[in-house]
Amino acid sequence: MKNIYKFLVFSSLIFTAYSCEDIVDDINENPNDLTVSDVGEKLFLTGGQLANIQLQCGHLNRISGMYSGQLIGFGALYSNIYGYNFSTGESNDEWRALYGGVMTNMRHIVENSNNELLRGIALVIQGHAFGTGASLWGDIPFSEAGNSEIADPIFDSQISVYSSAIALLDQGITTLSAASSEPIDEDIYFKGDKNKWIAAAYTLKARFYLHQKDYFNALSAAQNGIASAEGDMKFKPGNSVSGDTNLFWTILAGSRSGDLGNNSDDGTESYLLQILDASNSLSRNHSKTDETARRAYYMIDAAGSGNNGIIQEREPQNMVTFFENKLIMAEAAGRSGGVASGLTHLNEMREWLNNGGNLNSSFIGETFKYSPFEVSDFDAGGIENPDNISAVNAFLREVIEERYVSGFGMHMPYNDARRLRKTDVTIAVPYVMVDADNTRKPERMPYAQNAMNSNSNAPDEDPGIFAKTEVNQ
């Protein structure tokens, strides 16, 4: 991550640096006459995108993995966090990435660039980042954030920030629709392909509607979302300007080796690995589903070394994806129209899995099978309904469980747990974590200590990780 921060700081300060140089070169020139193109506006785009990678895939992502039963903190820092000992200082980097990285760089483009493609991309990235911020922390600054005349911006309600994030995505879609695609090497996600940006924006809208249990609008947005894996938004290590590595690998190959994983030498495994294990009583494997390859791909041993799957040095990391879009459609359509309405979308996702999904070349030769489901599989006594719950709930349970498995390495499983376990316990994934009687589950990330120290409108004391946010009551 060190290189990411170096580039981020550079891109945030480049305008100031260039202005000073210009004054030295020609004292009679007015630096205020400089345009954003003079200082390389596309570098601001890369800086914001790198900051967004930190927000989506960094430290708090690993913690959300622990708080959804997918990862285990084996030692030192992560062991403490796994045991709910979570300090406000652990949020500093992601908070800085949101406000000092994404917001600063993207608003600079929106306010100064004449390039409609860049402006549209910048709006989408802001929507992505602020929606994520609302999800992680709850109430956060938005309406007054970045206003040079306001030293201490207010904390807007979580729901209002979600609404603002969706509005940014809508503005981005409108702006991109009127723009022309052009090659942009500095766009490390889509290289300037406006159609991919528009589709990703719709999937993000669907995601944020889903967080709020607005299933009607989630389905409507997802219908225009990412239609194939070729449109996935990923962090692709080694292909970015910074040349950084997979963030799991970065932490586990360095100072935190042995602190985090999901498989231990003593036989301790995360809930995720248990349900993927055909020999485990919790297994989701059956005659139509064989998770052998995906279990191996997801396995992270306690040593954090020798893993050639999801934490491989150059392995891409998912951010906004085709499979997420399909599973949103499956859940939302299933809720409104029943099993048959949602099943088409689930089976399309399973077809992708049956062709290898996200597996890299090391695992394509492993055993996997994802045969299409039939409506009858969810009837009482069917292969997906051995406990005879309603057919719709059996279907939704499978969709949520698939989101849990396929969403490993994203915030998706953590978001689903908070969304469902209070009102939809029948379909929520029943993982057990540290609390022996399973009565306490983390509901949010703590506010950044730096923000609490510097903003008089921040709470005097963080509400704590067990405080429910506005949308997850």
> Any idea where the domains of the chain sit in the sequence?
2-18+42-433
The pTM of the whole model exceeds 0.75: yes
Give me the helices (H) in 138-157, please: none
Is the confidence at residue 383, as pLDDT, over 80?
yes
> 348-354 contacts: CB < 8 A, separation 24 or more?
349/323, 349/402, 349/406, 352/229, 352/322, 352/323, 352/326, 353/294, 353/406
The bridge status of strand 289-290 relative to strand 233-235 is unpaired
Contact 383, 390 (CB under 8 A): no
Q: In whole numbers, what is the pLDDT of the chain averaged over residues? A: 89
User: 2-18+42-433: which CATH architecture?
Assistant: Alpha Horseshoe (1.25)
Of 120, 88, 51, 58, which Cα lies nearest the Cα of 463? 88
Give me the mean pLDDT over the 48-54 stretch. 96
With cut-offs at 50, 70 and 90, classify the pLDDT of residue 306. low
Q: Judge contact between 385 and 377, C-beta under 8 A.
A: yes
Q: 48 by DSSP, 3-state: which?
A: helix
Query: At what angle are helices 59-66 and 412-420 packed, to 10 degrees?
Result: 50
Spatial CA neighbour of 158 closest among 414, 421, 473: 473
Residue with tokens 């600054």: 141
- pLDDT confidence tier of residue 437, bands split at 50, 70 and 90: low
Long-range residue pairs from 327-330, CB within 8 A, at least 24 positions apart, any chain: 327/399, 327/402, 327/403, 327/406, 328/203, 328/206, 328/207, 328/210, 328/218, 328/219, 328/222, 328/225, 329/206, 329/219, 329/222, 329/223, 330/399
Closest CA relative to residue 284, chosen from 293, 292, 275: 275
Pick the range with the lowest mean pLDDT from 195-204, 245-254, 457-466: 245-254
**DSSP-derived secondary structure letter, 446:** P
Residue 183's Cβ-count burial label (10 Å; 0-12, 13-18, 19+) is exposed
Average of per-residue pLDDT across 305-332:
93
Given pLDDT bands bounded at 50, 70 and 90, which one contains residue 436? low
* Res 32 pLDDT > 60: no
* Residue 305 pLDDT: 58
Lookup result for tokens 């430290």: 59
Q: Are strands 369-370 and 260-261 parallel, antiparallel or unpaired?
A: unpaired
- Region 164-169: mean pLDDT is 98
Q: How far apart are CA 383 and CA 167, in angstroms?
A: 42
What is the sign of the dihedral through the CA atoms of 215, 219, 222 and 224? negative
Paired strand residues for 263: 269, 301
Nearest-angstrom CA–CA distance, 240 and 242: 5
- CA distances to 3, 16, 104, 169, 256 from 224, rounded to whole Å, are 35, 40, 29, 13, 41
